[in-house]
Amino acid sequence: MSSKRKLFKAVLENKVVERVPVGFWFHFFEDELVEATGNEALIEQNLNGHRRFIEAFDPDFIKLMSDGYFNYPNSNIRLGASEASLQSLQTIGPEHPWIVEQVNLVKRQKALFKEEIYSFYNIFSPATYLKFLLGSDAAFVEFVNSYSEATIHHVLSTVANDIAVLVTKIIQLADADGIYFSTQNIRSVSETHIFENFIKPNDLIVLDAANLAEGVNILHICGFEGAKNRLEDFVDYPAQIINWATAVEKVSLADGHQLFPNKVVLGGFGNTTDDLIFSGTKAAIQNETEKIINSLGDSNLLLIGADCTVPRGISLEHLEWVRKAAINQAVVFE
């Protein structure tokens, strides 16, 4: 077992570690929503992005990016579709190119590793895939409100079962350690009803499949573009590692550690061009790293990273400053 894999495993087991592992990631496409299915040039672009990042930063653990595969491929799901057509919606099936290509992509991404490290493939909530397909949060809410609850349950469970097949194959066939599962509350006057009735049950279909496949999974409660979430809604989600937008939610890792006891917490740094990780000095970034580590007290359930993907133009030196501070802090504790 490589030293970095051993280090990460010790965190998962709440054992004393020689230092805190550090992980950051960013998109490799200018537009991650571009469609890569069947496009080898874009698939190579995804792989080349991982290759350059791995060679330059040598991460402690990695989120494998699904850039190019954000678009769930079922055009039958649309506003204006008839109730009957949505009620007869079927899964895309395990051999659909969108699924097969992602499994192969993970295999090719993992082949780029310099050493064996924990890897987590990016997967979205079934509701998020629908938001991408429909165009926005508002369109998703309109979609939910335009049909019977039975129809919406059928549509979302159909999507969820396709994603469950995908994550099972990624873990069992492509040998990813688990998934980085991105979900969130939805901005709507009826958000509580929508979350409890439609989002959460289908999130659990995917996470249960990942756990059944023996994955170690990261729950990412996404604060993209300032979206706020009710973190308490996610406390019983079956994931081993929890990541949320500390800067957006104003909930520190230490506070979140109380909300998610016995779970590994991941993050600590804001992820925008206005945040310290992007524009801060070496001293400021390293001081913040030390504060994050100290804030958890004697808990070993900590991974340092960001609220979400960091900006594409970030200097990798800034990320290395974080890791060096974590190493130096470990020396102080000895």
State yes or no: pLDDT of 226 exceeds 80. Answer: no
Q: Token match 């874009």: residue? A: 42
CATH 3.20.20.210 for domain 3-333: yes
Tell me the CA distances in angstroms from 207 to 32, 138, 180, 218, one per residue in order. 23, 25, 10, 10
The token duo for 70 is: 């954000």
- Tens-place pLDDT, residues 87-122: 999 999 999 999 999 999 999 999 999 999 999 999
pLDDT of residue 334: 42
Q: What is the pTM of this model?
A: 0.96
pLDDT of residue 304: 97
Closest CA to 29 of 59, 58, 70, 1: 70
| Domain residue spans of the chain | 3-333
- Tens-place pLDDT, residues 249-287: 999 999 999 999 999 999 999 999 999 999 999 999 999
Across 152-171, b (16+ Cβ under 10 Å) vs e yields: bebbbbbbbbbbbbbbbbbb
Question: How much of the chain, in percent, has pLDDT values that exceed 90?
Answer: 89
State yes or no: pLDDT of 9 exceeds 90. Answer: yes
Residue type, 234: F
Residue 331: pLDDT band with limits 50, 70, 90:
very low
pLDDT of residue 189: 57
- Tens-place pLDDT, residues 282-321: 999 999 999 999 999 889 999 999 999 999 999 999 999 9
pLDDT of residue 330: 60
- Tens-place pLDDT, residues 146-171: 999 999 999 999 999 999 999 999 99
State yes or no: pLDDT of 186 exceeds 90. Answer: no
The token duo for 260 is: 């998610």
The answer to whether residues 53 and 64 touch, using CB atoms and an 8 Å cutoff, is no
